[in-house]
Amino acid sequence: MSIAKTDTFTVVQPSAALGDPHVLSDIRDRRSIIDSVYDALVRRSDDGSFSPWLATQWQTDATCRQWRFELRAGVHFHDGTQLRADDVLASLQRALSEDLPGELGTQGVLRSYLQSADIYTTGPLALAIDSDAPVADLLDLLVDIPIVPTHALAGLPDAAVGSGPYQLARAEPGYVELTAFAAHWAGVPPAGRLIWRAESDAERRQQLVQTGQADLAVEPPRHLAAAGSPALLSQDSFLCVIFLFNLFDGPCRDVRVRQALNHAIDLSAIIADPSIMAGAAQPLAGPLAPSHPGADRDVLPYAFDPERARTLLREAGFANGLTLNIDLPARFPDESIALANKLATYFAAVGVHAHLRIHQDRPGYSHLVRTKKTGDLCCFDSSPASAWRVFREKLDSRHQGPWWQGFDNQRLNQLIDQAAAQAEEEARHVLQQQAFRIVHDEAPWLFLYAPQNLWFQGPAAAGWQPSIEGRVRVV
Structural domains in the chain, CATH included, are 6-216+454-461 (3.40.190.10), 240-452 (3.10.105.10)
pLDDT tens, position by position, for the chain (475 residues)? Answer: 589 999 999 999 999 998 999 998 888 999 999 999 999 999 999 888 999 999 999 999 999 999 999 999 999 999 999 999 999 999 999 999 988 877 766 777 888 899 889 999 999 999 999 999 999 999 999 999 999 999 999 999 889 999 999 999 999 999 999 999 999 999 999 999 999 999 999 999 999 999 999 999 999 999 888 777 889 999 999 999 999 999 999 999 999 999 999 999 999 999 999 999 999 999 999 999 999 999 999 999 999 999 999 999 999 999 999 999 999 999 889 999 999 999 999 999 999 999 999 999 998 999 999 999 999 999 998 788 999 999 999 999 999 988 999 999 999 999 999 999 999 999 999 999 999 999 999 999 999 999 999 999 999 999 899 999 999 999 9
**Distance between CA atoms of residues 458 and 436, nearest Å:** 40
Would you give the distance in Å from CA 82 to the centre of its chain? Answer: 31
Show the DSSP H helices in 179-238 as ranges: 202-210, 223-227
Selection from 474, 465, 470 nearest residue 165 by Cα: 474
Selection from 132, 110, 103 nearest residue 23 by Cα: 103
Selection from 370, 464, 466 nearest residue 28 by Cα: 466
Are 23 and 101 within 8 A, CB to CB?
A: yes
Angle between helix 387-395 and 410-420 (nearest 10): 140
